[in-house]
């Protein structure tokens, strides 16, 4: 993964005057050209990674191949450029020579572009200073039109030679699409009615050395979109909107909980013992302590320690890390919000959940009724409650009550659901539910009463010790949250951990480890409480109508590439 030569040079390329030659005799080493487009990852250049300086000075006659121009940056390294990159570097040099610094500094703006456009007609014919990225340039002799993008919106720049003077106007020739400029002038509408700034003067704030993707098809290659999200954000306005919506959703969650008296806290991401969920953790190492640590898979056990400590209403918004597969609904690190309320129970948390979803949807999407991939979803509370056994009876036509473990396993197999050899009835129930019922749960519904086997941290249901007072809301067939009345009996909790440890020993890598400190905390006494965890990414997917979790994560995990 080490960067091949040529990488890193681009940041600090110096183009000495006259070193740049167009065609004919082009100075070039015997380096292979480093391909940089999609699917190029510099494998062909491995042979040239050592001591570049030694290979200099080879004169290669290569007429007609501007793209192979090379340049020195004074460090004995060099970069091969595309014709467009070469042209931009050349303009950068010419600007410098003309006394125009290609990278400016502070620029005082009177308005952002969205501010200007919002109330344009009232602001017309006033002096303004705006800044942004050039998205298109239409040169027309003594008149040049350009589109300036800022804050996701564009305003037209209207540049007239007569207004600006020939020198200022002439320097426009060294600007490219993608450059960031600050301009000052007067707001006006053109003959065609386009909201514009008549430019009196301008300043180059940043010269862009790489060209932006094509102007109306934009950047479509999803791999490039994820790997180079910065480009995606520049050219695809919808992407920007999604991440603004995500930010608003997180703010709305925080506001909703804070307004109800919940205290936001932060607990460790580096855990000596990972807990709070059944999942495989990432392992990392602390050098000074010389010990392995785990990236947290859930903050649950820490938040419950806070209940012990007397914080009655707490929440945390943050990342969980799970060493599992990647899919359109799974990213190895994802954002969750967990909420704990002392003296409450699962019923209270269900009410909190449905209210929170409706509130956040209204804040982000404008309504508790949303459309996801063509399906109308009504998040208005209250959502129906349906016991897992009833759900399995209704959607799978399966009645497991009263069956022995073996009979239950047989029943599941007859329905085509694979279950582990020694699975108990409760495990079978959960398995059948996942496979046969979940896909049917499109509109919001709370599934309640989960088997104890799959709920090692939840309180038993009064009157049915095989079940727990747990719930999970489903939308679009996805589990979007998980909550329960928290188990606060340390003796019961120890037994549950013990079962988990046994399963772990039997090869279940996702089973809990024994957490003695957590048990000690419970032994000091944790108030009865309701707890809740919500998958924020999936919530945002729903609210932004995004088909993949990668569409709501700015930098989704990707396999690294040599050089891109």
Partner RNA sequence: GUGCCCGUGGCGCAACGGUAGCGCAAGGGACUUUUAAUCCCUGGGUUGUGGGUUCGAAUCCCACCGGGCACACCA
- In the complex, what is the shortest distance from the CB of residue 472 to RNA, in angstroms, rounded to a whole number? 7
* Residue 560 main-chain phi, psi, to 5 deg: -70, 155
- In the complex, what is the shortest distance from the CB of residue 70 to RNA, in angstroms, rounded to a whole number? 13
- CA-based nearest residue to 222, from 563, 548, 560: 548
Q: Does residue 140 touch RNA according to CB under 7 A? A: yes
Alpha-carbon span 503 to 278, nearest angstrom: 11
Q: Does residue 97 touch RNA according to CB under 7 A? A: no
96 close to 102: Cβ distance less than 8 angstroms: yes
Q: Does residue 528 touch RNA according to CB under 7 A? A: no
Q: Which of 8, 35, 52, 272 binds RNA (CB under 7 A)?
A: 35
Q: Which stretch binds RNA (CB under 7 A): 79-87, 288-296, 374-382, 497-505?
A: 79-87
- In the complex, what is the shortest distance from the CB of residue 291 to RNA, in angstroms, rounded to a whole number? 25
| Residues in contact with RNA, shown as a per-residue x/- string from 341 to 370 under the rule CB under 7 A | ------------------------------
Evaluate the omega torsion of the peptide bond into residue 382 and state whether it is cis, within 30 degrees of 0: yes
Q: Does residue 278 touch RNA according to CB under 7 A? A: yes
Give the pair of three-digit tokens for residue 56: 């200099």
Alpha-carbon span 375 to 441, nearest angstrom: 12
| Residues in contact with RNA, shown as a per-residue x/- string from 297 to 336 under the rule CB under 7 A | -------------------------x-xx-xxxxxx-x--
Neighbour tally for 217: CB within 10 Å: 8
Q: Does residue 32 touch RNA according to CB under 7 A? A: yes
Which CB, 227 or 461, lies closer to RNA? 227
Q: Does residue 561 touch RNA according to CB under 7 A? A: yes
| Residues in contact with RNA, shown as a per-residue x/- string from 204 to 233 under the rule CB under 7 A | ------xx-xxxxxxxxxxxx-x-------
Q: Does residue 539 touch RNA according to CB under 7 A? A: no
Classified as helix, coil or strand, 353 is helix
Rounded to 10 degrees, what is the CA torsion of 65, 71, 77, 82?
A: -50
- CA-based nearest residue to 293, from 301, 302, 284: 284
Which CB, 145 or 311, lies closer to RNA? 145
Q: Does residue 37 touch RNA according to CB under 7 A? A: yes
503 sits in the region (left: phi over 0; alpha: psi -120 to 50; else beta) called alpha
Q: Which of 2, 17, 18, 39 binds RNA (CB under 7 A)?
A: 39
491 sits in the region (left: phi over 0; alpha: psi -120 to 50; else beta) called alpha
415 close to 404: Cβ distance less than 8 angstroms: no
Number of shown-chain residues binding RNA (CB under 7 A): 89
- In the complex, what is the shortest distance from the CB of residue 454 to RNA, in angstroms, rounded to a whole number? 9
Alpha-carbon span 58 to 341, nearest angstrom: 73
Please, which of residues 460-519 interact with RNA by CB under 7 A?
A: 478-480, 482, 510
- In the complex, what is the shortest distance from the CB of residue 190 to RNA, in angstroms, rounded to a whole number? 3
Total count of residues recorded for the chain: 564
Please, which of residues 392-421 interact with RNA by CB under 7 A?
A: none
Q: Does residue 117 touch RNA according to CB under 7 A? A: no
């Amino acid at each position: 993964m080490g960067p091949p030569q040529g990488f890193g040079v681009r940041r600090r390329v110096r183009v000495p005057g006259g070193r740049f030659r167009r065609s004919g005799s082009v100075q070039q080493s015997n380096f292979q050209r480093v391909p940089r487009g999609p699917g190029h990852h510099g494998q062909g250049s491995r042979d040239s990674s050592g001591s570049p300086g030694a290979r200099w000075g080879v004169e290669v006659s290569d007429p007609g191949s501007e793209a192979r121009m090379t340049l020195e940056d004074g460090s004995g390294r060099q970069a091969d450029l595309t014709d467009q990159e070469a042209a931009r570097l050349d303009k950068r040099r010419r600007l410098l020579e003309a006394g125009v610094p290609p990278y400016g500094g502070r620029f005082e703006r009177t308005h952002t572009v969205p501010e200007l456009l919002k109330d344009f007609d009232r602001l017309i014919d006033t002096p303004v200073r705006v800044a942004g990225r050039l998205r298109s340039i239409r040169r027309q002799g003594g008149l040049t039109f350009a589109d300036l993008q800022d804050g996701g919106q564009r305003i037209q720049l209207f540049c007239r030679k007569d207004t600006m003077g020939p020198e200022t106007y002439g320097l426009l020739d060294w600007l490219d699409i993608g450059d960031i400029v600050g301009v000052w002038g007067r707001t006006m509408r053109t003959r065609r009615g386009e909201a514009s700034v008549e430019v009196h003067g301008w300043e180059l704030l940043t010269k862009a050395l790489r060209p932006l993707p094509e102007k109306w098809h934009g950047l479509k290659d999803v791999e490039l979109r994820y790997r180079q999200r910065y480009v995606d954000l520049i050219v695809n306005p919808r992407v920007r909107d999604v991440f603004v919506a995500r930010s608003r959703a997180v703010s709305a969650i925080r506001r909703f909980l804070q307004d109800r008296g919940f205290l936001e806290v932060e607990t460790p991401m580096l855990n000596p013992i990972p807990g709070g969920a059944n999942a495989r953790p990432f392992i990392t190492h602390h050098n000074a302590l010389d010990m392995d640590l785990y990236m947290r898979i859930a903050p649950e056990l820490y938040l419950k320690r806070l209940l012990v400590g007397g914080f009655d209403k707490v929440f945390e918004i943050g990342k969980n890390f799970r060493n599992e597969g990647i899919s359109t609904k799974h990213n190895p690190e994802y954002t969750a919000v967990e909420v704990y309320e002392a003296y409450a129970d699962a019923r209270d948390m269900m009410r909190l959940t449905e209210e929170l979803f409706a509130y956040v949807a209204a804040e982000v999407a404008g309504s508790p009724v949303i459309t996801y991939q063509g399906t109308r979803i009504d998040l208005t509370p209250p959502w129906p409650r349906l016991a897992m056994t009833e759900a399995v009876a209704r959607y799978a036509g399966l009645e497991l009550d009263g069956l022995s473990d073996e009979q239950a396993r047989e029943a599941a197999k007859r329905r085509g659901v694979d279950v582990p050899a020694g699975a108990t009835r409760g495990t079978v129930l959960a398995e059948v539910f996942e496979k046969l019922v979940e896909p049917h749960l499109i509109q919001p519904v709370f599934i309640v009463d989960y088997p104890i086997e799959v709920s090692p941290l939840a309180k038993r249901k009064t009157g049915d010790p095989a079940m727990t007072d747990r719930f999970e809301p489903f939308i679009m067939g996805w589990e979007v949250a998980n909550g329960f009345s928290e188990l606060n009996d340390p003796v019961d909790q120890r037994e549950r951990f013990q079962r988990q440890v046994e399963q772990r020993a039997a090869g279940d890598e996702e089973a809990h480890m024994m957490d003695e400190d957590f048990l000690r905390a419970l032994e000091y006494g944790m108030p009865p409480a309701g707890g809740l965890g919500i998958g924020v990414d999936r919530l945002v997917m729903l609210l932004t109508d995004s088909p993949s979790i990668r569409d709501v994560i700015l930098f989704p995990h990707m396999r690294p590439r040599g050089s891109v």
